[in-house]
Structure 1
Amino acid sequence: MEYAAILLAAGYSHRFGSDKRLADIDGEPMLLATLAGIRAALDTLGPGPAEPGRLQVVVRSRDGLVGRLLAGQGGELVRAPAWPVGIGASISAAAAKLASLDEPPRALAICPADMPFVRPESLCELLRHCAADKICAPVFAGQRGKPVVFGRCFLGQLAQLRARKDWERVIRANPAALCDVPVDDIGVTLDVDCPADFHRAKRRGPGDRRPAALHTASHGGP
């Protein structure tokens, strides 16, 4: 497998005040808007959208609402452990599944569900740029953003993350592997933690997130 992605959707939105995964982006829940961009990038990069493990969506251990919302959307649901709770536990649950495959991905994108304005072509660029021994992060206007893409060599470290440690722990342990990838995409810096972030992101985020924009660009590369 060349490319895969993990969509982190098991958070509790404490700072948002309600379930931000369901917040409206252009008439659809934020979670589905983010998922559509990731799926468009993976489908553009090569055949095999149904390949096991290609897209993993991590949800809470007991989350029937989002489970139903994701039905038929593509991707494999991974249930985060009920305890310990934390982003590291989510990453570990999905990365362990990928590491156990006969052919683990060469490059793995870790994508927060609260970043719906990342352009699919930016994710394509990160995945294409990443080698097995590299970690690639997007940079817009001098600011490092997300998603972050990890080469195959780091799957084991991601699979061992503890509950409250995120991918930054792996980056700090492997500073020479980090590669900044410039992108013309403010969306990589627009994550949503609270309602003010959400309204700011909607004002500043790219107006056209449709997969058609990616397919047009993909003829000559992103």
Structure 2
Amino acid sequence: MSRSQRLLTLIQILRRHRFPVAGTVLAQELGITLRTLYRDIGTLKEQGANIEGAAGLGFVLHPGFMLPPLMFSEDEIEALVLGSRWVAERADERLGQAARNALDKISAVLPSGLRDEMDASALLIGPSASPLPADIVQPLIRKAIRAERKAEIVYTDLKGEQSCRTIWPFALGYFDDARVLVAWCELREGFRHFRSDRISTFTVAQERYPRRRQALLRAWRLQEGISPQ
């Protein structure tokens, strides 16, 4: 691992922790000596990183420091390209275009060698067995999730029965054969899953729902037995 890559990795490790991390833990994760770690910490401070702490006490990175995204490993580049290609092929047109734009922005700031690696990535997305029809409600769903607002929907279940509901949308799952909205349903007083292609109308309300999105997501994962990511 080059020193520039090591400094970037050190920043990423510190960002994962809200509380001070012992120097021995950082050094072990990076595979370096404590002396090298202290030297790297000093270098990052000189570059403007607001790292607080000292030997024996641990280190914490305060928000606000950004390194230019110039260094990625080959695996990281392949992950970025593959993920963006999947979104471009499987998501709605607006999100797909956003994925293509993001790749263009990343490519523009990469050194020429890494840019060539990105352009030459051989990981491809295969055709879907059953392509999904255009789904006009997905952008509205994402808007409601980001704003943590209630929504009024008209939904048709598997039996063909239609109902009007007030929901608290907080997650959207992307599968090859469906897009599934996860929400708290006021009608059923519990978590429910709604296929987006069965939502005929989706109206974002002005009222925010009373719990934070992260809290709803944690409670839903606990109920479903899903480990936190």
TM-score band, normalised by shorter chain: under 0.3
- Which structure has the larger Rg? 2
TM, length-normalised to structure 2: 0.24
Higher-RCO chain (CA-CA 8 Å, sequence separation at least 6): 1
TM, length-normalised to structure 1: 0.25
